[in-house]
Amino acid sequence: MSNTPTPHIGAKLGEIAETVLMAGDPLRVKFMAEKYLDNPVLFNQVRGMLGYTGTYQGKRVSVMGHGMGGPSIGIYTYELFNFYDVQTIIRVGSAGALQESLHVGDLVVATGACTNSNYAAQYELPGTFAPIADFTLARRAVEACERMGYRHQVGNVMSSDTFYTENAHNDRWQKMGVLAIEMEIAQLYMNAARANRHALGICTISDHIITGEATTAEERQTTFTKMMDVAFTLV
């Protein structure tokens, strides 16, 4: 008996490419499909989480939303890796900067992801698991940033379960060299590790948690495409 379609993804097996670029906002996914893909075909709209498959420079690729937070991306990436035979998932999303050397519009290539999530408890490991990116993807992403002249930094991010919190302790993460805070990369990396697949998170700095710097609507439109440019070179 086939596991597809799943309760969350309406596609049949074979309708999703081996490489999937994912964003939290399904409308950003629609934008990627229209801007980057040739002949995009909608394969999912269950719960409004849009997904498209098309080609980029002759290579088959899919783009799909993953929603907000670890549980949401955990569900979608688990199903993609385990039921749709997806080999590579690249998250393109926003993050809040923790280091003063980062500015709005800069990119962060997340080689590792700290988290306050309890997601790893399911594996019953005798210690603390360190979620990390696929090295080859990360290296190629950095090379693409350098080639394109995009401001970027490489290192740890913090995947937080809470957006609004009374006790964030952001200064403590900052002191440990964590570059930025987002909400999904750690869970993506854990699912990839467990499935023996490949994953990378690339983020655009949308605001600065320490300095208060923030994006305007125009800046979001003109700078968020840089991480997409980089991600599509990895297809």
Residue 68 per-residue DSSP state: S
Q: Any idea where the domains of the chain sit in the sequence?
A: 19-233
108 vs 93: CA distance, rounded Å: 10
User: Is it the case that residue 218 has pLDDT exceeding 80?
Assistant: no
Q: What's the confidence (pLDDT) of residue 44?
A: 98
SS3 28: helix
3-class state of residue 179 by DSSP: coil
Summarised one tens digit per residue, pLDDT across range 3-13 is 899 999 999 99
Mean of the per-residue pLDDT values of the chain = 95
* Token representation of residue 215: 């994006």
At 42-76, the pLDDT tens digits run: 999 999 999 999 999 999 999 999 999 999 999 99
- pLDDT computed for residue 215 by the predictor: 82
Report the distance separating Cα 189 and Cα 112, nearest Å.
Answer: 8
CA distance 129 to 125: 8
Where is pLDDT greater, at 166 or 89? 89
Burial call 24-43: b when 16+ CB within 10 Å, e when fewer: bebebbbbbbeebbeebeeb
Residue 217 has pLDDT above 80, yes or no: no
The catalytic residue among 25, 161, 207, 229 is 207
Q: What is residue 8's DSSP assignment?
A: S
Active site (annotated) includes residue 207: yes
Instruction: Please write the tens of the pLDDT for every residue from 80-136.
Output: 999 999 999 999 999 999 999 999 999 999 999 999 999 999 999 999 999 999 999
pLDDT confidence of 1, banded at 50, 70, 90?
very low
Residue with tokens 């997904």: 51
The mean per-residue pLDDT over the stretch 142-167 comes to 95
CATH superfamily of 19-233: Nucleoside phosphorylase domain (3.40.50.1580)
Question: The whole model's pTM is what?
Answer: 0.96
